[in-house]
Structure 1
Amino acid sequence: MEPISHEVLNSEGTITRKLSQEKIERLLQMNKILDSIIDSSFDGIYVADSQGYGIKVNEAYSRITGVRAKQLLGKNMHEVVSEGIVSESVTLKVLKERQSITIVQHINEKEFLVTGNPIFNSEGEISHVVTNVRDLSELNRLKVELRETKRYTNKILQEISEFKNKEGVKLLLDGIVAQSKEIIEVTAVIKKVCEVDSTVLLLGETGVGKEVFANMIHMNSNRKDKPYIKVNCGAIPAQLLESELFGYEKGAFTGADRNGKAGLFEKAEGGTIFLDEIGEIPLELQVKLLRVLQEFEVIRIGGAHPKKVDVRVISATNRNLKKMVAVGEFREDLYYRLNIVPIRIPALRERIADIAPLAYYFLNKMNEKYKLEKRFHSEVIYMMERYKWPGNIREMENLIERIAVTTEGNEINSNDFPKGVFESALDEIIHSKGQMEQGLKQKVNDLEKRLIEEKMSEFKTTRKAAKALKISQSALVKKMKKFNLS
């Protein structure tokens, strides 16, 4: 994902608060990912701070050694050794000798191979010690495991280093790739509604990511450990939708299950139900849905007694429900029940700042998926930012996958895209050329500056960026000074 610049705000106080909030979000996300890396390890991992106090123990460590986390966390390793929990401490040795150390340690009358590695901060001081533990019972695999221990520990250090250096990258809720003011404002609202159970209506064109934002709301709510049921109201035939949503009693109709069937609202008990394409729900079912939203109860087909349900409702549509109400296609009372917290997801053409980060994100995704090494020619991003994207993010992802797997060579240029895709972008560029007589030099400078910004964002160093632009490194540095680029 492309580095993300902070939005320019009107108030110095607002800037400070925003920067602080973003730093906190990045640190929390970084800690969450690093915890996942450590906890998913098959090897035992123990992390201590610069004073030798235990701050992290994964489950594998307890499984391998028999030592519980509470015996180590918050304790200094001097104390742990004195209590006889371990025979000696590789953490203390690493802190003393300031280098990686491997020892054979005795814990609960068993032998373990223990490797400790120091992590140094920017000032050259040890900030943490990461210890890797393996059982020595498999002696025939000892050589392989020694190499694997070093490889895995280096991987952890590399991950820590990479996350520390991700300056400017906004990892918003659940990894949404965005840097535009428009999406940052949307996520700010979503963060608030995650904390409550209010009904949410997501509005926006097809392909803008309404389902992604619905997932975010559920996964960051207090219902995240409960069921999350997705329903595409436009994909289920009208005659089946009622039984799917509300269920039916045994013998309710010919062909019904003899035991009856619980509807999706019942199956979502305690969790969230996402009603996508809510504008397609038939009028005759809208009154039953209204009952759920008003009374929080459902009546199965063929049933007489209502059943209480505890469900949060998130709905989404690409249609104008207000106009549908005006022409009698949608119930007004249901519209107001669904529209408690409306959130409009802007179209991709309305948030041009997100196009480059999304394009690189999807290309990297395809490279990883198909073991490719594709890259964009600078003109491609330039054209993408001038294309209207009628299918929004979904269109972009599908198009990039198509281009990535069908083009020859590693560099993707505008000629690789299907004919007609960038016609509107070309029209805009041709129109711009008609104005160049009075501002040719400025336009050339603007384009040159943009190409340099894109390549520096992609390659990070002047050497690599200069190579991609096919100019010398010194020429690139001069141009960056000319355009006041850091």
Structure 2
Amino acid sequence: MIYSSENLFRKFLDKGKDDSKTYEELKQLYSILESIIESSYDAICVNDSNAMGVIANEAYTRMTGVRREELIGKSLPQLIDEGTISDSVTLKVLKEKRVKTIIQNIRGKELLVTGSPVYDENGKITHVVSNLRDISDLNKLKSELYESRVLTKKYLNEIKELKQKEGARLMMDGIIAQSKEIIKVLHLTKKVANVDSAVLLNGESGVGKEVFANMIHINSKRVNKPYVKVNCGAIPEQLLESELFGYEKGAFTGADIKGKPGYFEQAHGGTIFLDEIGEMPLELQVKLLRVLQEYEIMRVGGTKTVKVDVRIISATNRNLQELVEKGQFRKDLFYRLNIVPIEIPALRSRRADIPPLTYYFLNNMNEKYKMNIRIQPEVIRCFEEYHWPGNIREMENLIERLVVTSDGEEITVNHLPEDFFSKDSPTKEWSLKELVEELERKVIKETMKEYRTTRKAANKLGISQPALVKKMQKLKINEY
């Protein structure tokens, strides 16, 4: 530790120089005080009543970058004129004669500085002790929080705008589109809604085939007529025929004595949606083909046909053409159902929709559970990299789980389930460290592309220029 000719303590030591015992005690006390100040993690500096620097510990240099030789023996007005410091809490303490706290900028670093006066026995200020704390990390967190809130507001506003745009959102909650892939599908869906042609919705599980079927019915001329949904894979094979086509009284043991109309009769004048059509048994496919050809059905146990007027929409996550080649699906039925095929893209093929969908579901869950959970932008980036084998249904379920299990007010990467980063994931075989590095690489490239220089990019990212250059070398970022 450096002192100004050790004048600070010699004043006290001089009082006991004629008494060797007292002198040694004071000297020992001075040594202890020196160790205490030097071991402090916080930066400490001391100025005398003339605002001259007399003490600075090692933490001061570490925190500010100012060597103690630059501070000791110099007056604070001189340091301000030289640009070493932006302001002085000591001068304020000497003027107002009380403890003061200010934000001080020392060589580009923001510090929280508290100055405390030291009085003599006559009540005069002899020294001012200043404690400095680095608030750069706090400011960085505040900046990240602000950016997160701005980003959240941006996406929520985009969702609001999407609700008002033709082709971006077509009258249905749950279909949010920003990508050209899904907007193209939405245009086709709306177009075929106005005619009665059979529509076959193809797509992986969870892409929202039922939502598109709903849209077709709502935008059709049959909107005020019955809309019947049937999951062909959820009804036992032995019951499916009677459920679809109905049955007459006494048709089988346990049948209603009055008989029962089937789903096709119930949908008369409206629309029937046959989900998981690829699960329909071959023997029933023949009867369904008759409905498509003749628009009539015959109840189980019946002897006469019943005319029906229905619009048929079917959906499957299986490749029906392959099933036809394997003899598991009738070719003639396939052609009847496939008049207007609509391929609904998987979520990983429409990544531009991931951010607005995320905030849409987050907003819904917050309203549902009366919460106000936010989500960090880093989580959105993870979502954009994920494969989403369960598509939109998986995303909605995951966001609900994150909202109800969150132990704070913000969802972070650490809240994501372990299997989200599992090597069994269909994305890439990345560890969490590799995933974080890839996200860093992406963010740095985007920032460099926008700001062009490492100095400006480092300032935007809240790190020093050398740290950015070092990180770019580590991540092997040579072009952007």
TM range (shorter): 0.5 to 0.7
Task: State the match for 1:213 in structure 2.
Answer: 212
Deviations 1:247-277 (A, max 9, x none): 0111111111111110100000100000000
Identity %: 63
Q: Which has the higher contact order (CA 8 A, sep 6+)?
A: 1
Given the superposition, is the C-alpha separation of residues 230 and 363 from structure 1 closer, same or farther in structure 2, using an over 3 Å criterion?
same
Pairs aligned (count): 290
Instruction: Supply the RMSD in Å over aligned alpha carbons.
Output: 2.9
| 1: CA distance, partners of 2:372 / 2:435 | 34
What's the secondary structure of 2:278's corresponding residue? helix
CA contact (8 A) 1:198 1:340 kept: yes
2:322 corresponds to:
323
CA contact (8 A) 1:362 1:400 kept: yes
**Equivalent residue of 1:250, what SS?**
coil
SS at match of 1:421: helix
Residues 173-226 of structure 1 show CA distances to partners (whole Å, capped at 9, x for unaligned) of 324211010110001111111110000000000000000000000001000000
C-alpha displacement at 1:434, in angstroms? 8.6
Secondary structure of residue in 2 paired with 1:379: helix
Q: Kindly indicate whether residue 444 of structure 2 is the aligned counterpart of residue 444 of structure 1.
A: yes
CA distance in 2, matches of 1:299, 1:284: 14
| Residues 1:446 and 1:313: Cα distance change in structure 2 (over 3 Å) | same
Partner Cα separation in structure 2 for residue 433 and residue 236 of structure 1: 45
Aligned residue identity for 1:174: M
Q: Does 1:281 align with 2:280?
A: yes
Q: How far off its partner does 1:432 sit? A: 8.4
2:179 alignment partner in structure 1 = 180
Q: Encode CA deviations 1:129-174: one digit per residue, 9 max, x unaligned.
A: xxxxxxxxxxxxxxxxxxxxxxxxxxxxxxxxx99x8489643332
Q: Distance in 2 between matches of 1:441 and 1:327?
A: 47
Superposed, which structure 2 residues align to 1:126-275 within 5 Å?
166=161, 170-175=168-173, 176-275=175-274
Shift of 1:430: 6.5
Shift of 1:446: 1.0
Q: Which residue of 2 aligns with 1:380?
A: 379
SS at match of 2:252: coil
Q: Does 2:399 match 1:400?
A: yes
CA 1:444–1:305 in 2, change beyond 3 Å: closer, same or farther?
A: same
* Offset from partner CA, 1:56-85 (integer Å, 9 cap, x none): xxxxxxxxxxxxxxxxxxxxxxxxxxxxxx
* Alpha-carbon distance change, 446 to 250 in structure 1, aligned in 2, over 3 angstroms: same
Distance 1:354 1:283 in 2: 38
* Structure 2: distance between partners of 1:351 and 1:212: 17
User: Are 1:419 and 2:407 counterparts?
Assistant: no
Q: In 1, distance between residues paired with 2:442 and 2:437?
A: 14
Q: Scaled by the length of structure 2, what TM-score is found?
A: 0.56
Query: Residue deviations 1:272-313, cap 9 Å, x none?
Result: 000000000011100000000000000001111111000000
Work out the CA distance in 1 between the residues paired with 2:183 and 2:437. Answer: 36
Match of 1:12 in 2: none
Task: Name the structure 2 match of 1:56.
Answer: none
1:238–1:282 CA contact under 8 A, matched in 2: yes
Q: Deviations over 1:216-249 (max 9, x none)?
A: 0000100000000000000000000000000011
* Residues 181/430 of structure 1: CA separation in 2 closer, same or farther (3 Å cut): farther
Residue 62 of structure 1 is matched in structure 2 by none
Q: How many Å separate the matches in 1 of 2:402 and 2:393?
A: 14
Q: Counterpart of 1:309? A: 308
Question: Who is 2:117 aligned against?
Answer: none
State the structure with more CA Rg: 2
Mind listing any 5+ residue stretches in structure 1 that lack a counterpart? 1-161, 451-468, 472-486
Alpha-carbon distance in 1 for matches of 2:370, 2:340: 42
For the residues of structure 1 that align with 2:276 and 2:263, how far apart are their CA atoms? Answer: 16
Q: Alpha carbons of 1:442 and 1:306: their partners in 2 closer, same or farther (altered >3 Å)?
A: closer
Give the counterpart letter for 1:399 in structure 2.
L
Secondary structure at the residue paired with 2:290? Answer: helix
Question: Is the contact made by 1:383 and 1:422 (CA closer than 8 Å) also made in structure 2?
Answer: no
